């Protein structure tokens, strides 16, 4: 058999193979294809996995040491769902104001703008800029994140349900401070690096996002704690995922040095990170909720000596503001070519056991011996968890 096609036909993607039409794949080249970063023979716009749950995500948070201000941003790219979404939120005096936007995913992965929200990589691993233009929420922002530590790679997250991978992704975490300004209802707040700090994470791979397949997806049991903490001379990181009987299927414990300058935050600079051999937790839950009233974290060094940190909540931010567990604007949901949504509520007026408000990041005061620090303590506890006496899907602590 011979293939007969003119150059013009090839350009259009059509040829004639013994009288049969042949359709070539449409062009999927992007700017990143000019870099030597390919892991497969495909252009980078073709994902290695065909899973609908393939994703690539940015997350940022920022806070003052006294908990009077929290703001956060998230942007997710779900190429196999053809969705990109983003959210920006501010919490002041117990009130959460948020703007969430969703669009048809661009072919070009460096196009990280969704409606009024844009995330800009000014220098990889060092500087990022977030801009939020005018929108109906009353929020606007122009803020920059400057790294104060190396980005650390957490161990790979892998969890399967039978033969189906539910989680198979990598996350990096990095601490930094913030500058710029945030405006709420026309009131401009100056953001100074001496007063506002936080962290960012990047994750990519497969995890449950968007509508789940027929026959069910993720098991309703999920136990997750994540605590990136700041101290004057270093940062401490803790996270754990556990089964309902308390067995961990993933954990991280690390002590991370602060860097002299943002320019020192380059890949490979984490060689002085002290990794822990195990982590433990003891949480006092606020009665009738699945939010902590206090917590004690224990990170075990390889020589057996522990790092013991006590956490006291200062304020509670509900992750719904960034799309997590949102009933309508959850991650990866299709809303068309472009839609923008705004919400506002007071944390004290919500039910802590409402599944759409259950997932939280608490701003916490952290005490480690003579050191006093600050950070966030993220909690998502769904379903039964024997060590703390949770037996149902959403029952509160006794």
Of 92, 62, 89, 60, the residue nearest 315 (C-alpha)? 92
Q: What is the pLDDT of residue 216?
A: 58
Can you tell me the distance from the alpha carbon of 347 to that of 93, in angstroms, rounded to the nearest whole number? Answer: 10
Asked if 300 contacts 280 with a C-beta cutoff of 8 angstroms, the reply is: yes
Across 214-249, b (16+ Cβ under 10 Å) vs e yields eeebbeebbbebbbbbbbeebbbbbbbbbbbeeeee
Lowest mean pLDDT across 14-28, 199-213, 245-259, 273-287: 14-28
The residue among 102 and 48 whose pLDDT is bigger is 102
- The predicted model gives 185-200 an average pLDDT of 96
Can you tell me the distance from the alpha carbon of 260 to that of 174, in angstroms, rounded to the nearest whole number? Answer: 15
Q: Is the pLDDT of residue 25 over 70?
A: no
pLDDT grade, residue 12 (50/70/90)? very low
CATH of domain 3-25+52-388: 2.40.370.10
Of 61, 363, 320, 378, the residue nearest 200 (C-alpha)? 61
- The predicted model gives 189-209 an average pLDDT of 94
pLDDT grade, residue 13 (50/70/90)? very low
Q: SS3 for 290?
A: coil
Tokens 């509520």 sit on residue = 345
pLDDT grade, residue 212 (50/70/90)? low
Lowest mean pLDDT across 12-26, 60-74, 333-347: 12-26
Q: Give me the sign of the Cα torsion angle 121, 122, 127, 132.
A: negative
Residue-range domain boundaries for the chain: 3-25+52-388
Q: SS3 for 224?
A: strand
Highest mean pLDDT among 4-8, 47-51, 205-209, 273-277: 273-277
Highest mean pLDDT among 21-30, 162-171, 210-219: 162-171
pLDDT digits (tens, 9 = 90+) for 37-92: 898 888 888 888 888 899 999 999 999 999 899 999 999 999 999 999 999 999 99
Lowest mean pLDDT across 5-19, 41-55, 145-159, 164-178: 5-19
């Amino acid at each position: 058999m011979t293939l007969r096609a003119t150059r013009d036909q090839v350009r259009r993607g059509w040829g004639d193979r013994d009288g049969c039409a042949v359709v070539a794949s449409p062009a999927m080249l992007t700017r990143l294809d000019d870099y030597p970063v390919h892991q497969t023979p495909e252009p980078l716009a073709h994902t290695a996995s065909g899973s609908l749950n393939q994703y690539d995500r940015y997350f940022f948070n920022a806070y003052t040491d006294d908990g009077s201000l929290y703001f956060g941003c998230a942007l997710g790219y779900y190429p196999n769902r053809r969705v990109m979404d983003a959210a920006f939120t501010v919490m002041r005096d117990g009130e959460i104001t948020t703007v969430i936007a969703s669009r048809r995913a661009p072919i070009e992965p460096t196009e990280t703008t969704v409606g009024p929200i844009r995330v800009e990589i000014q220098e990889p691993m060092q500087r990022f800029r977030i801009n939020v233009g005018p929108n109906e929420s009353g929020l606007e922002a122009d803020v920059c994140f400057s790294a104060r530590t190396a980005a650390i790679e957490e161990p790979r997250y892998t969890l399967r349900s039978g033969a189906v991978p539910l989680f198979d992704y990598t996350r990096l975490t990095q601490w930094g401070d913030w500058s710029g300004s945030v405006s709420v209802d026309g009131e401009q707040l100056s953001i100074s690096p001496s007063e506002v700090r936080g962290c960012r994470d990047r994750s990519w791979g497969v995890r449950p996002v968007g509508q789940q397949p027929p026959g069910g997806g993720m098991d309703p049991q999920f136990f997750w704690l994540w605590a990136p903490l700041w101290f004057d001379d270093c940062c401490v990181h803790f996270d754990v995922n556990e089964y309902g009987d308390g067995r961990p299927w993933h954990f991280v414990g690390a002590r991370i040095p602060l860097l002299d300058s943002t320019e020192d935050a380059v890949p490979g600079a984490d060689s002085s990170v002290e990794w822990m051999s195990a982590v433990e937790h003891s949480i006092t839950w606020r009665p009738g909720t699945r939010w902590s009233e206090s917590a004690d974290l224990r990170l075990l060094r390889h020589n057996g000596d522990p790092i013991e940190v006590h956490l006291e909540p200062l304020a509670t931010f509900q992750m719904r503001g960034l799309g997590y567990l949102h009933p309508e604007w959850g991650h990866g949901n299709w809303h068309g070519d472009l839609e923008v949504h705004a919400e506002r509520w007071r944390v004290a007026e919500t039910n802590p056991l409402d599944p759409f408000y259950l997932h939280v990041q608490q701003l916490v005061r952290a005490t480690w011996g003579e050191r006093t620090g600050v950070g966030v303590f993220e909690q998502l506890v769904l379903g039964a968890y024997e060590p703390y006496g949770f037996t149902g899907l959403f029952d509160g602590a006794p």
